[in-house]
Amino acid sequence: MSPNPTDLTFYYAVWQKKCWKCKRDITVAINVEGWSFVPGGVGELWRQEMPDWLLKYLRSLGANIHYRKTSMVKEGYYANVCPYCNAVQGDWFLNEELINYLYEEKPQNFKIVEIRKEGIVRQFNSVREADAYYNRAK
């Protein structure tokens, strides 16, 4: 039996980027569970289920996330969508972009948030900050 999604803690990186299509500034959020700088979990591209409360918090951070079907993922997934031109910002490319933040001590317009149903529990301003916190907690 899988755990009830309302009981889980989620970890998301949130940052601003240019839409690949219209080049306007947008906010994106990507699941970072399974990355070495957050505790446990298994990373997941193309998330196909998302509790309403989690979607609400991510949208409150500025991410425009909607369920979409794409040529790459025909069954659909919760994707970052440009609010201006409606283009899906692919998870694969966002994960590649996230790698760049691993090496920045104080990246601009970037944060990692720990979210539970009650709200945002913690926020970190860099991967290094999250890594230091969670490694200290072990």
Predicted confidence (pLDDT) per residue in 46-75, tens digit: 778 889 999 999 999 999 999 999 888 889
pLDDT higher than threshold 70 for residue 7: no
Convert the pLDDT of each residue in 73-111 to its tens digit.
Answer: 889 999 999 999 999 999 889 988 998 888 788 888 999
Query: Is the whole model's pTM more than 0.75, yes or no?
Result: yes
pLDDT, mean over the chain: 87
CA distance 85 to 71: 18
